[in-house]
Amino acid sequence: MKAANSKYCQCLYFSSNALARKIEKIANDSWKKVGLTPSHAYLLMLVIEDPGIQPSALVKQLLLTPSTITRLIEKLEQKKLVVRTTEGKLTNVYPTPKAKVMLPDLKECLHHFYQNYSAIIGKEESARLVSSMNKLIDKLPP
């Protein structure tokens, strides 16, 4: 006997992963205009809004590991969008003028992304979902 919904496992593992992959695809499209992946774009926005922000703060805000944050910064540095200064054990990340000029475009992409998904799933529904996901993220171990 097959399950009623045989399209995919009725399991949190696949549901959460599949959803994340699909949303990632929408996000990738939304940020194509600025030639950045969503992760790079979000990190860059945080740097522009808080110049000198440290990798450890980015780790907390983006919920990524320190090594991933380092790699994201490296790429933005290659693209001349940020610069790093290290003093002691601390590193500060600053936006370049080139990056600052991009801010309106970055915000526009963010808006496009929001429009894209809320057009499909509805504004209330998506807000509810984000909120319940965030509650869950807080509950789960780090």
Partner DNA sequence: GGACATTATTTGTATATACAAATATATTGT
Partner DNA sequence: ACAATATATTTGTATATACAAATAATGTCC
- Which stretches of the chain bind DNA, using CB under 7 A? 17, 21, 25, 37, 39-40, 54-56, 59, 63-75, 84, 86-91
CB of 24 to DNA, least distance (A): 8
> Which does residue 48 bind out of DNA, a second copy, none, counting CB within 5 to 8 angstroms by kind?
none
CB of 51 or CB of 66, closer to DNA: 66
> Which does residue 4 bind out of a second copy, DNA, none, counting CB within 5 to 8 angstroms by kind?
none
What Cα–Cα distance (Å) separates residue 28 from each residue in 5, 14, 32, 113?
A: 29, 21, 6, 9
Distance CA 115, CA 17 (A): 22
CB of 26 or CB of 129, closer to DNA: 26
Q: CA nearest 108: which of 13, 40, 43, 31?
A: 31
Residue 1 token pair: 């006997």
